[in-house]
Amino acid sequence: MEKELDIANWKRKEHFHFFRKFEEPFFGVTVKIDCTKAYDYAKQSGKSFFLYYLYQSLKAANTIEEFKYRIKGEKVMVYDQVNASATIGRPDETFGFSYIEFKEDFEGFYGPAQQEADRVSKGSGLFPEVFSENVIHYSALPWLDFSALSHARSFSMEDSSPKISFSKLTTTKTSKTMNVSIHVNHALMDGYHVGKFVEKFQELMNSY
């Protein structure tokens, strides 16, 4: 479900109109997330760590309204829920885009997410079976402990979906950490909202 945002009475209307005109309205940050408890939980329960942190990231995003805003023409639409369009690697060293629906309950999320990841992994096409605006574009680069990341972008294509990427997991004697790159459209949100997302994501990764 979606509804139109009342831009005229939106407290960020000036910010929206200002950044909407930019050739590159996205801004990005990279932060370090402690994954020690989350990794231990995933391994102890026999679950995919990737799907576990993907779920917690989606859960965090769905608590912040601005992550559910999308630009359609001159309008801003607000979705009830955002889902994941995540890249899934293949044995032949290519990847495909998936469509993974968010479910509030991890067990309800995990089964369908695993099925979709398996389907894409065994397939050959690039694009998912479901196209939707209410997604976050996810990718994982488990080969790189990156500290910054940029994205390939087509400026002629309207795009306002957040983009979240996960680095290689780094292990020390006492902890496991992962860098997370977050790119969002500045017409729809600010650093404050990204900060709220990071805080909530870390909170969820610490609890099980």
Catalytic residues: 186
Measured CA to CA, the distance from residue 109 to residue 153 in angstroms comes to 29
- Name the residue among 161, 143, 4 with its Cα closest to residue 82: 161
**CA 116 – CA 5 distance, rounded (Å):** 32
Structure letter (DSSP) for residue 188: T
Dihedral sign (CA 140, 62, 99, 122): positive
Please give the structure tokens belonging to residue 116.
């979709």
Place of tokens 């000036």: 14
Say which DSSP state 124 is in. Answer: -
- Residue 167's identity, in one-letter code, is S
Non-local (6+) Cβ contacts of 146 within 8 A are 30, 167, 168, 179, 181
